[in-house]
Amino acid sequence: MTRIPTASGTPSIRHPRRALALCLVLGACGPRADAGKTAEAKPAAAPQLVRVAPLELRSVRRSIETTSYLESMHQVVVQSRVSGRVVQVLADEGQKVRAQDVLARLDDREARATLRQAEVQLADRKVRHELATLAVDTSARRVESARIERDKAQAQFDRNRAIDQELISQKELDDSRFALDSAKEALHVAELDLRRAEVEVGAAANAIAEQEARIEFETLRLAEHVIVAPIDGVVSTRNIRGGETISPTASTASSATPLFVVVDQDNLICYLRRPQRELPLIVGSKQVTFTTDAVPDHEFHAAIDFVSPVVDQESGSFAVRVKVLRDDSRVGLLRPGMFVRARILAEDEREALMVPKAAVLNEGSASVVFVVRDGIARRVVLDPGLEEREHLEARNRGQDGLAPGDIVVTSGQQGLQDKALVEVSKT
């Protein structure tokens, strides 16, 4: 390469390709140095301001809350199965009654007369039966007498037939044969009379049984004229006043006119309907508590005594029947039909790590919280358990989950990234 001096004293390069390569090298080096200076000059990102809350480790119990109405285990509509005029009303609404206490009386004079007539007819049929029995005895004696006569005639005929034909006339032999035939016919007639008399005795006995059944029916019908309480309880409804004539409106007692309604207030129940996913929780539980607006600020107790063995196909729910426990003096204030808020205690008391619901973010099907440790937000996928009004149980505890003493972000976590720097608000 030839160097040519210039006016400035700087040698010039006579080979243009080498000069171009040198320029490219110098151009590449210049921008890299500038980029390094720009990176060093860019400031670090400021921590994101958040609010936090500590996790709580406390005693909890899983419960299922629902609403329903109280019912009486025994509530009976008292109806009349016979027609009649009400002559006496002995019970009023609100009155306590015992089973078989008389509530009202109907006019039973016609029923008594019918029963008396049936009793007279029974007596007549017993007389007929006795006469038929006497006829049987008489017929039996006639049969015995006819049998004796036949045997005598048979013996006479045999003797005559054994005599030498030269010593007895043909007429005498024929007469003995005729006497034997007559005796046999008389025995046959007597036996028929005895059979007829025995049939009449059976018919008379059947007539007596039929009449006794009628008397039993009329006796029951007469008893229906006295309206009695079917159970121990309280008369909640009275639909008769006295003097009116009542009558069943249909052939079945279920359609008859209701006279009284008797309610058992000492045995109250409540039917709860729950979705099928709660079946494993409820099957193992026994204790139930409930409240009602009628007795504010007081908690009553009940017990599950029936869980339906089937699930309704349309609603996907099953029935639970609970019975109110009479372990409290204020239970007497409860009444059928009251609205109640029930809580089924599904498990025993235990300790749980509770996370504020404000800290939980829903990312699809996952629940996520951010835990602040050394000024850095750590994203943790929550394994939720027991849910309360303002808290949710964290079941994933330990190194990869949560622990007592952790603080979680409750405000400002929207857009927060895992391992991001955060600053805890003092307010």
Centre a 10 Å sphere on the Cβ of residue 172 and count the other Cβ atoms it contains. 11
Residue 328 placed within a domain: no
Mean pLDDT of all residues in 92-111: 95
Backbone phi and psi for residue 328, each to the nearest 5 degrees, phi listed first: -150, 135
Is position 19 within any domain?
no
pLDDT band for position 49 (cuts 50, 70, 90):
confident
Same domain, 234 and 96: yes
282 located within any domain = no
Q: Is the pLDDT of residue 13 over 80?
A: no
Least confident of 121-125, 225-229, 399-403: 399-403
Predicted TM-score of the model (pTM): 0.59
In this prediction, residues 377-390 reach a mean pLDDT of: 87
* DSSP bridge partners of 394: 384
How far, in whole angstroms, is CA 193 from its chain's centroid?
67
Q: Are residues 93 and 129 in the same domain?
A: no
Question: What pLDDT does 59 receive?
Answer: 84
Length of the chain, in residues: 427
Residue 4 has pLDDT above 60, yes or no: no
Amino acid letter for position 374: D
Across-strand partners of 246?
A: 84
Q: What is the mean pLDDT of residues 295-315?
A: 92
| H/E segment holding residue 133 | helix 109-162
Decide: 407 and 53 in contact? Cβ < 8 Å.
yes
Residues 6+ apart with CB under 8 A from 43: none
Verify that 95 and 240 share a domain, yes or no.
yes
Q: End-to-end alpha-carbon separation of the chain, Å? A: 77
Residues 181 and 235 both lie in one domain? no
Q: Is residue 400 part of a domain?
A: yes
Residue identified by tokens 């700087």 is: 10
Mean pLDDT of the region 222-226: 95
CATH number at residue 239: 2.40.50.100
Q: Are residues 153 and 93 in the same domain?
A: no
DSSP state for residue 278 in the 8-state scheme: G
pLDDT, the chain, mean: 85
Q: Annotate 371-402 with b (16+ C-beta within 10 A) or e (fewer).
A: bbeeeebbbbebeebbeeeebbbbeebeeebb
Residue 376: which domain range? Answer: 51-58+351-424
Number of domains in the chain: 3
In a domain, 419, yes or no: yes
Question: Across residues 243-264, what is the average pLDDT?
Answer: 75
Angle among Cα 199, 202, 206 to the nearest 5 degrees reads: 140
Please report the DSSP string for 5-52 in residue order: --TTSPPEES-HHHHHHHHHHHHHHHHHHHHHHHHHHSPPPPPEEEEE
pLDDT at 165 (0 to 100)? 79
Domain of residue 201, CATH code: 1.10.287.620
Instruction: Tell me: do 161 and 192 sit in the same domain.
Output: yes
Same domain, 230 and 214: no
Contact 297, 106 (CB under 8 A): no
Q: What is the mean pLDDT of residues 377-398?
A: 87
Q: Residue 399: inside a domain, yes or no?
A: yes
pLDDT in tens, 82-92: 999 999 999 99
How many other CB atoms are found less than 10 A from the CB of residue 50?
A: 21
| Whole-angstrom distance, CA of residue 108 vs CA of residue 218 | 11
